[in-house]
């Protein structure tokens, strides 16, 4: 079975537009679970532009499926993650000026820091995943640094047009084989939507997709529960 992790950051983005208490991402998580989400994903950014510390704390107490915390390597955030001990922690790059995560993390740049953080998160009981581009050297680094899983960045696939779509898909497929051979769990995400998710869900090694923007965007029209249900259906059909 392929799991759907629903990223609810944008529910918090809407709340922060008015700096009020609604819509509450904690309510969104419950709605997503009722729609069939296998996981709830949130990114606690250093600038707290959407999800905040209170959300993470309450979601840890209330989410019944898998809570996946996206996080950078900044010490303050690592300490919160270790204290919270989410079911899964996904290490992502973070730049203050970016609109959203712009690519995979470079695991080769600060290898010893990455290895130490992975160790601390695993000791806390979390499954630890690395959000990387589909590149051999990043995949091999993730293996040697002790990660349990790799989330492949699908942004370039999602942004591709024409023949480039197949080329990007082939790149993801080759990376999927390598990740599987190394015995790591395969996840993917970023830019996936109702139109382009099928071929990624069809990769035989795929275990989890993390999708946010498209689901929250559709929820505006049909409600979050229904939007999640429709995406879950596509994952099953993709298989
Ligand atoms: N996976 C990771 C690691 C991300 O950073 C994001 C965006 O926050 C997503 C998945 C979801 O991306 P999107 O909102 O484009 O579906």
What's phi and psi for 26, nearest 5 deg? -70, -40
Is 191 near ligand 1, meaning CB less than 6 Å away? yes
Is 133 near ligand 1, meaning CB less than 6 Å away? no
Query: Residues near 189 by Cβ (< 8 Å), separated by ≥ 6?
Result: 5, 7, 131, 151, 152, 153, 154, 209, 210, 211
Res. 90: pLDDT tops 80: yes
As a whole number, mean pLDDT of residues 156-164 equals 97
Parallel, antiparallel or unpaired: strands 127-132 and 206-211? unpaired
Residue 81 CA neighbour count, 13 Å, CB half: 33
Query: Residues near 215 by Cβ (< 8 Å), separated by ≥ 6?
Result: 6, 7, 32, 224, 227, 228, 231
What gap in Å lies between CA 172 and CA 159, rounded to an integer? 14
- Percent of residues, the chain, with pLDDT higher than 70: 99
What gap in Å lies between CA 236 and CA 3, rounded to an integer? 10
What's the pLDDT band for 94 if we cut at 50, 70, 90? Answer: confident
Ligand 1 nearest atom to the CA of residue 9, by list position: 8
* Total number of domains in the chain: 1
Ligand 1 nearest atom to the CA of residue 101, by list position: 5
216 is written with which tokens? 């929250």
Q: How far is the CA of 211 from the centre of ligand 1 (A)?
A: 6
**pLDDT digits 0-9 by tens, 113-158:** 999 999 999 999 999 999 999 999 999 999 999 999 999 999 999 9
Instruction: Please name the helix (run of DSSP H) or strand (run of DSSP E) that holds residue 207, with its range, or none.
Output: strand 206-211
Q: How far is the CA of 8 from the centre of ligand 1 (A)?
A: 10
| Residue 53, SS3 per DSSP | helix
Query: Residues near 90 by Cβ (< 8 Å), separated by ≥ 6?
Result: 41, 68, 69, 70, 71, 128, 129, 130, 131, 151, 187, 210
Mean pLDDT for the chain overall: 96
Q: 217 is in which domain, residue-wise?
A: 3-238
pLDDT on residue 196: 98
**pLDDT digits 0-9 by tens, 25-65:** 999 999 999 999 999 999 999 999 999 999 999 999 999 99
pLDDT on residue 55: 98
CATH of the domain at 107: 3.20.20.70
Beta bridge partners of 41: 7, 68
As a whole number, mean pLDDT of residues 55-81 equals 98
**pLDDT digits 0-9 by tens, 166-191:** 999 999 999 999 999 999 999 999 99
What's the pLDDT band for 239 if we cut at 50, 70, 90? Answer: confident
Q: How far is the CA of 112 from the centre of ligand 1 (A)?
A: 25
Res. 165: pLDDT tops 90: yes
Is 5 near ligand 1, meaning CB less than 6 Å away? no
Query: Quick one: which of 194, 187, 182, 178 has its CA closest to 233?
Result: 194
Query: Quick one: which of 44, 5, 35, 10 has its CA closest to 185?
Result: 5
Res. 15: pLDDT tops 90: yes
Query: Residues near 107 by Cβ (< 8 Å), separated by ≥ 6?
Result: 114, 130, 132, 138, 141, 142, 145
């Amino acid at each position: 079975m392929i799991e759907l992790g629903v990223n609810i950051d944008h529910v918090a983005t809407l709340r922060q537009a008015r700096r009020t208490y609604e819509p509450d991402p904690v309510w969104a998580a419950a709605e997503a679970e009722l729609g069939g989400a296998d996981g709830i994903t949130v990114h606690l950014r250093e600038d707290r532009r959407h999800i905040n510390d209170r959300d993470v704390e309450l979601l840890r107490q209330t989410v019944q499926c898998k809570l996946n915390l996206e996080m950078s390597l900044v010490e303050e955030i690592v300490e919160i993650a270790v204290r919270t001990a989410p079911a899964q922690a996904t290490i992502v790059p973070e730049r203050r000026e970016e609109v959203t995560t712009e690519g995979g993390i470079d695991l080769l740049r600060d290898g010893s820091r990455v290895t130490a953080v992975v160790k601390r998160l695993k000791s806390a009981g979390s499954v630890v995943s690395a959000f990387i581009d589909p590149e051999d050297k990043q995949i091999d680094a993730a293996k040697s640094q002790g990660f349990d899983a790799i989330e492949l960045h699908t942004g370039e696939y999602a942004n591709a047009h024409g023949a480039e779509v197949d080329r990007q898909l082939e790149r993801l497929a080759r990376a999927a084989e390598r990740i599987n051979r190394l015995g790591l769990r395969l996840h993917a995400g970023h830019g996936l939507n109702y139109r382009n998710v099928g071929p990624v869900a069809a990769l035989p090694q795929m275990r989890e997709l993390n999708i946010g923007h498209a689901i929250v965007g559709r929820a505006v029209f049909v409600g979050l529960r229904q939007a999640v249900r429709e995406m879950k259906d596509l994952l099953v059909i993709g298989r």
